[in-house]
Amino acid sequence: MVNNKVWYDKMLAWRDMHIKPRHFILMLSLVVGVFAAFAAYLLKSTIHFIQHFLVESFSRESVNYWYLVFPVVGIFLTSLFVRKIVRDDISHGVTRILYAISQRKSILKLHNVWSSLVGSSVTIGFGGSVGAEAPIVLTGSAIGSNLGKFFKLDQKTLMLLVGCGAAGAVGGIFKAPIAGLVFTLEVLMLDMTLTSIVPLLISSVTATSVSYILSGSSFMFQFSTYEPFSVERIPYLILLGIVCGLTSLYFTRGMNRLEKFFRKYKNPYSKMVIGGIILSMLIFLFPPLYGEGYDTIENLLNGHSASVLDRSFFQNMGNSPWVLVVYLVLIVFFKIFASAATTSGGGVGGIFAPSLFMGSLVGFVFASVFSIFGIHLPEENFALAGMSGLMSGVMHAPLTGIFLIAELTGGYNLFMTLMIVSVVSYLTIILFEPHSLYAMRLAQKGELLTHHKDKAVLTLLKMENVIETDLVVLSPDMNLGEIVKVISHSKRNIFPVVHPETDVLMGVVLLDEVRNIMFRPELYTRFTAKQLMISPPATINENLPMEKVMTIFEDSGAWNLPVVDNQKRYVGYVSKSKIFNSYRHVLVHFSDE
């Protein structure tokens, strides 16, 4: 152990002497990209292997009752793995990254490098109706974070490496380097300078290149036929954008409410049973809900929409186009139930794939309905546009939606189509929801890092770093003479009065309030701290985010305020001057290049 420590210290010293920090970051960003690509390839290969083993032999002409079994088994195995082996919450991968950036100094646990891979492989392989992208983004970010910790890099660099891991993960799993970059800037909300963007590009391009080497140069979705952009279709594209925005709102609020429903059940086995039953029944009735749903997307994009009805009760209901439309609408409606049942029941997965899946169905149904009424709209084009629009709405990331769909399919000639639908969808949902599904959980607690510089710096400030505990505490029974002795040895002019048994803050004695009587010895035994104390203008809970702390300071007009815990016990004091000094330190640190 001692020899390893010596070797480790020598390695760090050699790196400090021979490699410039900026060059070292570029080297690490390349390494992160390589590892993220291999992790993405491993995850996708494992999922496809499990799915191929389980369902490839299923008949396309009849329903299959194994759909009632496999999803339950997947959730059960994943839940046991998470609770018995990992023993940590690995759900909501992107939300956990956002929390780590804003509240944990960009530190992600080492198990996140592999635990999400295993959990999501089993969940999705057995039919969990979620995506593998959020788990791989968490994996990539954990790779970046732990590499940075290994080389003892500072918080700012750790944040950058977390972003590199996310960019590499998205670039690697989708073969979409630009989408990897803009995802990091839009969704993780890292406020980067041009110098900091270069490592993100390196990670994303490296991961994409490695993915091409490992899995070939084909696009993720083969899209062979499309119609060029037409000005006459702009009104329909705007309308589709509004529909996608409202569907994104349904997705966001529906997922939130369903997750709250599952949180009512404290017993994990109850969640497993309820989630497994809901998921298996939905997949039995609607087989396209099995897994990520990418096969369904590819069928819609390549004119094989009839095959979507395979293995379902709807396949024998005739050839009317309304049968397919109703079937797809029902799938869109129930998709959030299947996804929420998967994750809340104990499975591991994200909302990338569900948003793409629902978007393709929304766009296809939109065009199909107009075509039924005699207005020709290219269903494949609108399915693509729907994917872009729903992803933009759910993630509040229009650039990610535009570039991801273009890179996934090679549909670069449809940029105008994708842009119109994505922007309108985004503008529609922000009227109702200011934050994405990823960010809203943290935003409600004031723990979200955003592009708003003032709020971002306040989010990075921590209460424990600004609380002052050197103030002398008074007992309520101390008389004026004893208080004068305390004042004579103190450099502060505020003296909190605390109950001697419960430590509850009772009030404060201010030097200005006793200055007129402190030099009159005949009064030393007449007054006690309890009589001289006053109530502070406000108190601050030690768990409040810094943005709310500053709001309390502004509302109260105070310069110093006491800090208490949840039981109103005295913790310390916080001053505006200390906050301003810490604010400036964080601002300079994260703005310096």
The more confident residue out of 452 and 121 is: 121
Tens-place pLDDT, residues 178-219: 999 998 888 776 655 666 788 999 999 999 999 999 988 777
Percent of the chain with pLDDT over 90: 39
The number of residues in the chain equals 593
For the chain, domain boundaries: 2-215, 231-451, 457-591
123-137 pLDDT, tens digit each: 999 999 998 888 999
Which residue did the predictor score with more confidence, 297 or 470? 297
DSSP designation for 83? I
Contacts of 580 (CB under 8 A, 6+ apart): none
What DSSP letter does each residue of 105-156 carry, written as one string? TT---GGGGTHHHHHHHHHHHTT-SSBSHHHHHHHHHHHHHHHHHHTT--HH
The pLDDT value given to residue 191: 57
Q: Is it the case that residue 22 has pLDDT exceeding 50?
A: yes
- Give the pLDDT confidence of 85-121 residue by residue, as tens digits: 998 888 777 777 777 776 666 788 899 899 999 999 9
- The pLDDT of 366-370, averaged and rounded, is 95
Q: Does domain 231-451 have CATH number 1.10.3080.10?
A: yes
Burial of 52 (0-12, 13-18, 19+ CB in 10 A): exposed
The number of CA neighbours under 13 Å toward the Cβ of 469 is 7
Question: Percent of the chain, pLDDT > 70?
Answer: 88
pLDDT at res. 28: 93
| Confidence check: pLDDT of 589 > 70 | no
Average pLDDT over residues 31-59: 89
Mean pLDDT, rounded, for 455-468: 64
Name the DSSP letter for residue 473: P
More confident residue, 576 or 139: 139
pLDDT at 417 over 70: yes
Structure tokens at 217: 């140069």
3-class DSSP assignment, residue 52: helix
Fold classification of 2-215 (topology level): Clc chloride channel (1.10.3080)
Looking at every residue in the chain, the average pLDDT score rounds to 84
pLDDT digits (tens, 9 = 90+) for 130-188: 988 889 999 999 999 999 899 888 877 888 899 999 999 999 999 999 999 998 888 77
Mean pLDDT, rounded, for 216-242: 83
Identify the pLDDT of residue 408: 83
pLDDT per residue as tens digits for the range 318-340: 677 888 999 999 999 999 999 99
- Residue 102, pLDDT score: 65
Task: Say if CB 397 and CB 187 are below 8 A apart.
Answer: yes
Domains 2-215 and 457-591 share a fold: no
Distance between CA atoms of residues 555 and 532, nearest Å: 25
pLDDT tens digit string along 529-550? Answer: 888 888 888 888 888 777 777 7
Q: Is the pLDDT of residue 466 over 80?
A: no
Res. 429: pLDDT tops 90: yes
Q: Taking 50 as the threshold, does the pLDDT of residue 227 lie above it?
A: yes
Least Cα distance to 363 among 390, 339, 338 occurs for 390
Q: What is the mean pLDDT of residues 448-468?
A: 59
pLDDT at 275 > cutoff 80: yes
**Predicted pLDDT of residue 520:** 80
Is 286 within 8 Å of 312 (Cβ atoms)? yes
Helix (H, G, I), strand (E, B) or coil at 368: helix
The CATH code for residues 457-591 is: 3.10.580.10
Q: Which residue has the higher pLDDT, 20 or 579?
A: 20
For the chain, give me the number of helices (H) and strands (E)? Answer: 24, 5
DSSP letter for 318, please: -
